[in-house]
Amino acid sequence: MSTAAECEGPATVVFDESLTQYNFGPEHPMSPIRVDLTMRLAREVGVFDHHLRIVDAPLASDDLLATIHGDQLIEAVKRMGHNPGPGEEHFGLGTDDNPVFLGMHEASAHVVGASHEAFRQVWSGESLHSANITGGLHHAMRDRASGFCIYNDIAVGIQWLLDQGAERVAYVDVDVHHGDGVEKIFWDDPRVLTISLHETGQMLFPGTGFPIDLGGPDAEGTAVNVALPPGTSDAGWLRAFHAVVPALLREFDPDVLVTQHGCDSHADDPLAHLMLSVDGQRAAYLALHELAHEVADGKWVVTGGGGYALVEVVPRAWTHLLSIVGGRPLDPLLETPGGWREHVREQLGRGAPHRLTDGRTPAFRRWEEGYDPDTWLDRAIHATRMEAFPLHGLDPQP
């Protein structure tokens, strides 16, 4: 099986314009304009011209949602969405993070339905890779909305894979925030490996995701967390990724690789403190694509996630992501189309980037070349390896 960046397998992105109805209002940082700008940019640079096909996004049924979420949460989301007013904060609704809005249940169920279709595409063999950039709502818990996330589309999709007979599913989360909802939902399930690389919870919401968090008694080692120091840039992030993720995925040998691609790790993101470039994020996407081919015969389900630099980062990062899902990575030196930049100016009154990347070279030093205990980054990597690797029969030492 080829592990080259280019691949010939059928690939899909699940999307229709109504997915932008997942909208907490004009003052909320997670504006759906980021999705519109991504799809518009991807279309203008030709991402959908060849191997990446757009398929419609269905609405998730209550029965599908109930494979993960409690009936009381689902009813509360429906109730609040039909008659928005004072929230029900014990369900995480009506908070600053999750304000209620008209049609909230339908919009949230639509995101879940879109991700479920991406999972179905891959498991059925209709697609080798499939993506839903509006998905990746990784903070939602079984009985509570959290962190801009009403329902947990990723967890619904992973549970569906298990119910279809998948024996092992690996989940890698590269959002700047810890993937706490997915981890907690599968905390006691040894069939699901969750790996999250995020800014340390000492500094950032949700305040969780440390190396000692390893999973429940019957699934110890299947939760893996890399808690990165603020200020980590491309070289440090990629060093951490390659020191932890490939070895664990190879050992776990999943049937399907599921990845969440919040791009709020970028230096320009207003809500966090990592310092990646679009070039570094693109390098991570390429690495995950290759790992999907190496460990899961190419079966790769991709979601979006966070990302709040709505013009400067998200459209460029996710356009690269979609091009990689489609098996035709874009040239990092490519310019953004003038028509797209003009649309941004007309709609938002703002300038847009002229290049698809930030012009960086995402080089890094491999872990095998030496460990420096005087650096916070290396201590963080070392802590994760020491805690998690022995539970998988791996040597944690360089």
- Catalytic residue, chosen from 139, 177, 178, 289, is 139
b/e map of 58-74 (b: 16 or more CB within 10 Å)? bbbeeebbebbbeeebb
Tokens of 367: 């872990």
CA–CA separation, 31 and 82 (whole Å): 21
C-beta separation of 328 from 129 below 8 A: no
Angle at 202 between CA 100 and CA 369, to 5 degrees: 125
Which letter does DSSP use for residue 266 in this model?
B
> C-alpha distances in angstroms, 205 versus 79, 148, 273?
28, 12, 12
- The counts of H helices and E strands in the chain are 11, 8
Which letter does DSSP use for residue 355 in this model?
B
82 is catalytic: no
Tokens of 273: 């403190």
Q: Residues with catalytic annotation?
A: 139
